[in-house]
Amino acid sequence: MTAPIETYTLGYDAYAMRFLVRRSLESHGAFILPFVVPGLEVLDVGCGPGVMTLDLARRIGTGRITGLDMNEAQVRMGVQAAAAGGVSNAQFETGSAYALPFPDASFDLLFSHALLEHLREPQRAMAEFLRVLRPGGVLGVATPDWGGFLFGPPSPALTAAVQAYMGLQQRNGGDVSIGRRLGQIAADAGFEQVRQRARYENYDPLSIIGELLAFQLEDDGQPEHAATLRAWQRTPHGMFSQAWVACTGRKPLR
Ligand SMILES: C[S@@+](CC[C@H](N)C(=O)[O-])C[C@H]1O[C@@H](n2cnc3c(N)ncnc32)[C@H](O)[C@@H]1O
């Protein structure tokens, strides 16, 4: 089966990298911590530059983690960060979420943060997540849901700019409202004990998200919306609070 055609909206420029390397397991992946114990075999799908992958590696002690990403440069960043941080139980590989390069039942824990919202066929990726987990293995995924975002001060121009970005991600094959569907997608794939919860991330300074979205919109030929975002991010009392949904589940024992 061929992989669906989609474009990863965020891209790999300096703004995107600055945006991703601020994350940590504590700040963005705390929902998985109750399941993380020493000795686990873990897979992190769509690992990006590997910051959260390495946080997980440090917590699993004698266990082993593989960070997988379709982009070779991200994989190289993960390898370099592991070497720089002296983390020896993490490895990084290129590969697709739609065809994970591992045999069935290879992992105890599958983590995937901020990937599924970019996929045209998230259900197909979820089937792969189930396949590579051992019976009883744990799923932990998280995505934003743009239906829950709070941004201000409100203005028609800001609303239009945010909607333009949402339209871009949808056109690229993603789903900006996938957060609220994660539980259903996991259950439909065959996971049990599925739980979902939401939280907010507040961007401070606003330029962390403002510049990222402006850059993508400019690149897409929408300079007027980019200009709106750049003006807005200088607003003294502006806010951008992003809703994240996390979903956990378990592969049935049989
Ligand atoms: C938003 S980044 C998330 C990185 C990291 N997990 C984090 O939350 O900081 C999404 C990553 O998924 C990767 N990606 C996108 N589509 C993919 C696919 N079909 N298979 C594997 N990786 C993919 C991208 O290359 C990118 O590095």
- Give the number of residues written for the chain: 254
Q: What is the Å distance from ligand 1's center to 31 Cα?
A: 19
pTM: 0.96
pLDDT tens track for 117-166: 999 999 999 999 999 999 999 999 999 999 999 999 999 999 999 999 99
Report the C-alpha gap between 121 and 126 in whole angstroms: 9
3-class secondary structure, 105: coil
Task: Determine contact, residues 201/242, Cβ cutoff 8 Å.
Answer: yes
Q: What is the Å distance from ligand 1's center to 46 Cα?
A: 3
Residues with CB under 6 A from ligand 1: 8, 10, 20, 23, 46-48, 52, 69-71, 74, 96-98, 113-115, 118-119
Give the pair of three-digit tokens for residue 171: 């056109």
Domains and CATH numbers, the chain: 14-250 (3.40.50.150)
- Among 45, 61, 44, 9, smallest CA distance to 166 is for 9
Q: What is the Å distance from ligand 1's center to 70 Cα?
A: 7
Report the C-alpha gap between 235 and 158 in whole angstroms: 12
The predicted structure's pLDDT at residue 1: 64
Q: What is the Å distance from ligand 1's center to 118 Cα?
A: 8
Q: What are phi and psi of 48, to 5 degrees?
A: 60, -140
3-class secondary structure, 101: coil
Cβ neighbours for 200, distance < 8 A, ≥ 6 positions apart: 148, 150, 241, 242, 243, 244
The predicted structure's pLDDT at residue 254: 83
Q: Whose CA is nearest to atom 9 of ligand 1?
A: 20
Task: Determine contact, residues 51/26, Cβ cutoff 8 Å.
Answer: no
Measured from the Cα of 47, ligand 1's closest atom is: 6
